[in-house]
């Protein structure tokens, strides 16, 4: 029992919550920020992926495995089996681009104004 508790403490520490909040902000960003700011954020993410072979928070939380992602770790804990490399590609390269496309659709085509900036 103590081993399980220790594992949960390390799996759900401060970096987990910082990571989770940033992910939630990223997915809600089309409603919060202008598409130009979202584009800058995505460029930062892509540069981070190229220079560090991954997310700095993921490296801090799980080590420097170039294919590890926040999503893979917690999907695995939930018992959901996924391909680590394919999930990394999807979440690091495709999802940010889709968030950007959604922001363009909402703000430029539909005309929704962002709530913050």
pLDDT tens digit string along 24-39? 999 999 999 999 999 9
Give how far Cα 25 sits from Cα of 65, 77, 86, 97, 106, Å. 25, 23, 23, 15, 16
**Long-range contacts formed by 63-71: CB under 8 A, 24+ apart:** 70/19, 70/20, 70/23
Q: Can you tell me which residue has the tokens 């072979």?
A: 53
pLDDT at 116 over 80: yes
Summarize the confidence of residues 1-14 as an average pLDDT.
Answer: 57
Residue 97 lies in a domain: yes
Residue pair 70/117 in contact (Cβ under 8 Å)? The answer is no
Residue 116 lies in a domain: no
pLDDT at 103 over 80: yes
If one compares 21 and 13, the residue with the highest pLDDT of the two is 21
Tell me what pLDDT residue 4 has.
46
Domain count, the chain: 1
Structural domain span for residue 33: 2-110
The reply to whether the predicted model has a pTM over 0.85 is: no
Q: What is the pLDDT confidence band of residue 1, given thresholds at 50, 70 and 90? A: very low
Residue 77 lies in a domain: yes
Tell me what pLDDT residue 13 has.
86
């Amino acid at each position: 029992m103590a081993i399980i508790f220790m594992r949960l403490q390390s799996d759900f520490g401060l970096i987990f919550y910082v990571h989770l909040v940033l992910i939630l902000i990223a997915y809600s960003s089309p409603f919060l920020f202008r598409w130009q700011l979202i584009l800058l954020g995505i460029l930062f993410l892509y540069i981070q992926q190229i220079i560090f072979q991954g997310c700095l928070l993921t490296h801090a939380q799980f080590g420097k495995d170039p294919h590890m992602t926040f999503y893979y770790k917690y999907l695995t804990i939930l018992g959901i089996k996924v391909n680590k490399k394919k999930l990394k590609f999807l979440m690091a390269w495709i999802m940010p681009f889709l968030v950007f496309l959604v922001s363009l659709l909402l703000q430029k085509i539909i005309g929704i104004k962002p709530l913050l900036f």
